Each structure stands twice: as C-alpha cells, then as structure tokens.
Amino acid sequence: MTGEVNTSIENNIATITFFHPQSNSLPGEILRKLANEITDAGNNHEAKVIILKSEGEKAFCAGASFDELASINDIEIGTKFFSGFANVINAMRKAPKFVIARVQGKAVGGGVGLACGADYTLATESASVKLSELAIGIGPFVVGPAVERKIGSAAFIQLTIDATRWQTATWGKEKGMYADVFKTAEELDKAVNELAVTLSQSNPEAMRMLKKIFWEGTEHWDTLLSERAAMSGSLVVSDFTRNAIAKFKGK
C-alpha cells in the first residue's frame, strides 16, 4: 500500500484526509497530493474552511517516509523529495482560507511541520511531538520556518537539538503549537467540527484578509523553503546520513 489522500466538501467545510500504513508517514506521492488538494480546496468557492487530518487512532504523522529516504541516491532526487514538504507548507500558507489541523496522535518531523503550518491546530493529550531529523544526520530545514514561526526560536531550538526526546502535547500547547488539547479523540472531533461550522458561516472576505495578515512576512518562503530543501537533499545522500537511516530501519 502506498497510502492515499482524500478530500470531501460538505456544508462549506473541506476535509482533507491523508493515510499511510506506516504510521501516516509521508512519501513523495502523498506530499504531492496533499499540496494539490490543499491548493484546490483553497480555490474552491464551495469551501469556506479547510480541515487537515489523518486516518487512524494512533499517530498523526510519522514524518518523512524512511523507505523513500533510504532509496534516495543523488542530490537532485533528494531535493525534489524535500521540496514536497515545502510545497505542502506553502500550500497551507497561500490558501485564502483558514486551515484547521486535527492532531489525534504523535507527530514527528514533517508531521510537526504540518501541525505548525496550519492556521489553528487542536490535538489530543497523546499528541506528543519530536523533531528527529538531526538524529538521522539531517535537520528540520524545510519545516523549520513554520515550526519556529508558531512556537518561537527557543522552543524550536529545543526540539531541534534534543532530537530523540518526545515533548508532550501539554508542552505543545504551552509553546503555542496547539490552541487546545483534549483528553479523547471524540472531544477533539467535537471541538474541530464546532470551530469549522462557525468559520463556515463567517465572512469569507474577512477571513481571507485575516489569513493574509497572519502570514505577513513570509512572502519569501517560496525561495526560502526551496533553498532549505536543497540543504536536506545534499545531506540525505551523505555517508553519515545513509548509515544513520540504515541503522534506524534495522531497529
């Protein structure tokens, strides 16, 4: 199975759901579809607000697909793969509608980038986070701007340097990653749906203007994230990183 991305629009609410059998990890094809679906929902007049979620009751997103990382054998392919994360973050940034992320479980690496790239993120108490990139010889270069923008430099540096340590959902709420945290997925869904319904009945033009204001100062991200993808692309083919990924896959 290679996973899938599905979008439904009901009562002016677009719900984009992604799935991968390996803890909702993100291979290049899933990233491409996510970016396209977010862009399409942003341009669809039937949708007034966007919900981003993953399937299952456990992990929200395990980040980059290790199978795909292990298969990368040149810088160009590596840069293209990491550009997939850049495209998803930029799609959320540019969508003229609010993106609500529903985080029902752990988020790693690129999954943290999704949680921070959304305009408003709600989570369960089990939604711990970790930026594990340094542990495999790279760094959270592409998702970094979205994470740092959301939680601040000090918290971003903490996540980046302490790459093997999970931070709790409560920590995420304290740092501003999560707007609120709930005990159960049922409570989370209720909150997500109530917010989405309220926003679906709000003035689309006002929300579009607010979205633009919220993201002021990020107009250079098309270039920035492309440059960051090239950094990751060059590191992922290094001997150090290839050995680290092999050891991780062998555990």
Length of the chain equals 251
Q: Return the SS3 of 68.
A: helix
Q: Where are the domains of the chain?
A: 4-200
Q: What is the mean pLDDT of the chain?
A: 96
pTM: 0.96
The beta-strand segments (E) located in 174-226 are: 180-182
Q: How confident is the model at residue 251 (pLDDT cuts 50, 70, 90)?
A: low
pLDDT tens by residue, 27-65: 999 999 999 999 999 999 999 999 999 999 999 999 999
4-200: in CATH 3.90.226.10: yes
Cβ-count burial of 29 within 10 angstroms (0-12 exposed, 13-18 middle, 19+ buried)? Answer: middle
pLDDT tens by residue, 154-200: 999 999 999 999 999 999 999 999 999 999 999 999 999 999 999 99
C-alpha dihedral, 181 to 178 to 29 to 89, nearest 10°: 160
- At residue 63, φ and ψ (nearest 5 deg) are 80, -155
| pLDDT given for residue 141 in this prediction | 98
- Of 161, 130, 136, which Cα lies nearest the Cα of 249? 136
